[in-house]
Structure 1
Amino acid sequence: MDEPWEARLFAFLDDLEQQAGATFAAERDQEVAERARAEYARVVLAARLMASVERDVTLTVDGVGPVSGRLRRVADGWCLVVASTGSWIVRLDAVALVRGGAATAVPPEAWPATARLGLGSALRRLTGERCQIHPRRGTPYEARLGRVGADFVEAVVGADPAPVLIAFSGLAAVQQRG
C-alpha cells in the first residue's frame, strides 16, 4: 500500500531540512576556519615568545647566529635569553628564526606590566658592565656600557676613553658574560 500523501510530504520536508542543516554547518565551519586564519594573522612573534618564557629556545639572530638558552623575559622590542655563556639581550626585530617556542601565544593585553619596558631599560641594568656588542652588520666587539638615551647607548670601546654612540637600530644583541 502506498504511503499517504501527508507522510510523503513530511518526509520530503524533513529531507530538505536535513540538507539545509548540512549546508549551514559546512558554511559555518568554513567561516570559523576563515575567522581563525584572520585572527592568527594578527599574532606577532613577541606574543609567541611570551608564551615561551621559561622554555629552552634557540633564536637565530641576524649578525650573531644561533643563541640558545632559557628565555627569561620578553618585553617591548627585546627579549632576554640566559645561556651557560652569559645573558643575551636580543632585539626582536633581529630574530630570524625560533626553535623550541610554545605552540600558543599570549595576547599583549595579558602581558605583565614589565613587558612595556623598552630596550633602554634592559641596557641601563648593564651600565658599567663589560659586554660583547653584536651589531647587525660587522664584527662583535667588547665594550663597557655607559649612559643610555632614548634610542642609543654610550659605550667605551678598547683603550679610548671617549665613548661611542651605538644606535639601537644597529644592534642585534648584547651579551653579558656569565
Structure 2
Amino acid sequence: MAWEENLFAVLDDLEQQAEALYDAERVAELADRSRAEYGAVTFASRLMASVGSEVVLGIAGVGRVPGELQRLGTGWALLRGVSGDWVVHLGAVEEVLGASARSVPEVAWSPLTRLGLGSALRRLSEAGERCLVHLRSGARLEGAVLRVGADFAEVEAAPGGVRLVAFGALAAVQSRE
C-alpha cells in the first residue's frame, strides 16, 4: 500500500503544479484582455462617468477651468463653474483632472447626448444670452451668439460687428448671465 500512497502523492503534486501553471497563464491572459478592452474606452465615455462630479478642464486657449460637469453631448460638455456656465468643445479639452476612474459606454447614453455642439450653441442663441466666446488661439469675443450653422456660429461681437466662428477654432463659450 505504501507504493499506492506514493503514487497518489506524486499525482497530487503533478495536479497542483498543473493548476499553478494554468493560474499563471490565466493571470497573464486576463491582463492582456484588460489592456485590449481598455483600448476601446473613449475620452467621452470617461467624461460621461464623471457627469455630476467636480472636475478641472484644461482648455486650449483658456487654461484650467474648475466646475461641476453637468452634461455631455456629442463633441461638447457643459461645465458649471464659479464664473458661470461653460459650453466646452471637447476637441479643445487638453486635460481633465478629477475624472472618474470608470467609463460609461456610448450604448448606455441617453439619446439626448447625441445632440451636437450646434444644439448647445442654438440654446444660447435662442436665450439671447451675452457670452464670452473663447477661441483656441486665446482670442476672446464678447457678445451674443446670433445664429448657428452646421459647423460655425455667428457671433455679434462688441467692436467689429458680426463674426463667423468655425467650430474647429472654438474652445468654449462662457455664459455671462
Query: Normalising by structure 2, what TM-score?
Result: 0.93
Give the aligned partner of residue 168 of structure 1.
Answer: 167
Which blocks of at least 5 consecutive residues in structure 1 are unaligned? Answer: none
> What do residues 7-29 of structure 1 show as CA deviations (whole Å, max 9, x unaligned)?
22221111111100010011111
User: 1:159 offset after TM fit, Å?
Assistant: 4.5
How many pairs are equivalent? 175
User: What is residue 150 of structure 2 aligned with on the other side?
Assistant: 150
Gaps of 5+ in 2: none
- 1:103, distance to aligned residue in structure 2 (A): 1.6
Residues 60-90 of structure 1: per-residue CA shift (max 9 Å, x gap): 1111001111110011111000112111011
Corresponding position of 1:39: 37
Secondary structure of the equivalent of 2:124? coil
SS of structure 2 residue aligned to 1:24 = helix
* Pairing 1:20-169 to 2, within 5 Å after superposition: 20-127=18-125, 128-161=128-161, 163-169=162-168
Identical-residue share of aligned pairs (%):
53
Cα shift readout 1:46-68 (whole Å, capped 9, x = no counterpart): 11111111111111111100111
How far did 1:6 drift? 2.3
The answer to whether the 8 A contact 2:62-2:138 is kept is no
CA distance in 2, matches of 1:41, 1:83: 31
Whole-Å separation in 2 of the counterparts to 1:68 and 1:142: 21
CA deviation vs aligned residue, 1:96-121 (integer Å, no higher than 9, x gap): 11112112111111111111100000
CA deviation profile, 1:122-144 (whole Å, cap 9, x unmatched):
00001132211110114212121
Q: CA RMSD in A?
A: 1.4
